[in-house]
Amino acid sequence: MTGQRVFIAVFTLACLGAALAGAAVLITGLRTGEPQEPAEVPEAWQDVRASLGHESHLAEGLACADCHDFERGDFSFIPEAGCLDCHEDTERRIHGDAGDVGCESCHPFGAERDVAPNACDRCHDEAQGEAMAIGAHGDTRCQDCHAPHREPSFEPAACRDCHDEVSASHGPRPDPDTCLDCHDFHDTEKPAACESCHGEGAQRVDPRATFAGHASCEGCHEPHAFGAGEARSCESCHADTFTLAEDTAGEHARCDSCHSAHAVQEVAAACAGCHEVKTDHPRTAEGACATCHPAHPEEPSALAGAARTCFECHGESSPRAFHAGAAACADCHGGHDVMVESEALCADCHAAEARAVDAAAGHDQCAQCHEGAAHEPSAPPVACAECHAVQARTAPGGHRDCEACHDPHDGGILGHATCASCHEQKTRGAHGDPATCHDCHRPHGPDGPAAPPGCADCHAPANLPGLHTHAGHERCADCHAPHELEPPNTRRDCASCHDDLDDHEPEARVCTGCHPFADGGRPRR
């Protein structure tokens, strides 16, 4: 029984071989009409026989020789023109005129199992030239929008056919003709940037409209509802933002009272647009008005139009921290007229000093001596030497405190400031008339004698009486002191020079009893 089965199998294979050989001869003769040498059937036939191309063509009853060139004996595939012999109604190949792409690129006759007419992503998984990679709509049949064998090759279906739940409007164009104004068919990224249309022309939007917190148009505009008035309200993001004077008349309650929808940060002139109030307060980074009137205060208690106190910026904690605690800011500064004329203000409180100042002496500008006096009047005034350098340099010791003699506001001599007020003892002598002190002395330069003159300037030796003219008595200072109370007259005074006369009239207490200096100088008898 077993031998019979072996015989049958061998016989069957022999018959199949003979049949194949005969078929080869027959197939070869199909194109020439005459029997030829049989072509060798390649082993690859076992791999490709189940391909889509073979199955679809064999099902139509095509013979192998209709597509294969047996004249070369290697089953070569007839050039593409062979496809058009049968598919004459297919005038174009996919990709239009792309000559390097043949029919077999999508209609496989080989062993590749991933090649199929709709497997476009096999080649288009990455961008090729101007053609984008398949991203969006990658799960949709390509031929639903593309016509591979005719022109135009791209005939997209209406977006609404699939996206009927999306009601698109864009500004004045409700339900636009094509979604492709913003969306690329295959792009997986976000839609085309708004500035591609709104970067110039009548629809231009200032590029400063986007910034941190307002990073994209979609932050305010719904992607498919970009119509006028359809933007999200400011409160949808800024519900916790307080506005200036929100609890009064509400004139600041609307964001667009100060902010433009597409220039939110441009509010420099917003206050002036409604308030004809000018201020000379130095401008800060917040702007002139917002320095004191924050547009968006941190706490609701700061509303009702209340301005910040001066001390929030000027670093003091007490309303009376300035001017030695004697005045509030509003006593000198107005709410909007901040910069003031200091002298006029000083006179309001310091009228007596204002009347006393001597403009000719340069004392009519308070700030020249009282630097920072408006906020710190207790600070020492500027030293007199800053303006009166010569006087300060030439004043002798004891005369360097200017205010001991001068009134600081009018510069005049104080009533009590006479020479005798300090030099009372020196006014008792022969030169003791205070009115004549300035003949020999000056309190400071540049006027007056720089040094006391010599005695001879007033007391010429030729005119002096008695022993003044006697030899050895020429130097006044040997006997006299400038501010002496009485002339020297004791025996001791004379003995300082005449020590050789110690035994001369030892009982005499004074020498001038016999040797006068006032009546010729001869010794009396």
Q: Which residues pair with 174 in a beta bridge?
A: 169
CB 432 within 8 A of CB 426: yes
Residue range 128-174, pLDDT digits in tens: 666 677 777 777 777 777 777 766 666 666 777 777 777 666 766 55
Hey, is 201 helix, strand or coil?
A: helix
Least confident of 48-52, 255-259, 342-346: 342-346
Task: Calculate the dihedral angle through the C-alpha atoms of 514, 516, 519, 521, rounding to the nearest 10 degrees.
Answer: 80
Based on the number of CB atoms within 10 Å of its own CB, is 437 exposed (0-12), middle (13-18) or buried (19 or more)?
A: buried
Given this model, what pLDDT does residue 194 score? Answer: 79
For residue 336, pLDDT over 90 is answered with no
pLDDT at 393: 92
Res 470 pLDDT > 60: yes
What's CA 282's distance to the chain center, in Å?
18
Please say if the pLDDT value at position 390 is more than 90.
Answer: yes
Q: What is the residue whose two structure tokens read 């917002």?
A: 290
Residue 340, pLDDT score: 72
Average pLDDT over every residue of 400-418: 87
Amino acid (one-letter) located at 322: F
Q: Compute the average pLDDT of residues 375-399.
A: 85
**Separation of alpha carbons 365 and 82, rounded Å:** 111
Is the per-residue pLDDT at 471 higher than 80?
Answer: yes
354 with 346: CB under 8 angstroms?
yes
- Could you tell me which residue, 489 or 95, shows the higher pLDDT? 489
112 close to 104: Cβ distance less than 8 angstroms:
no
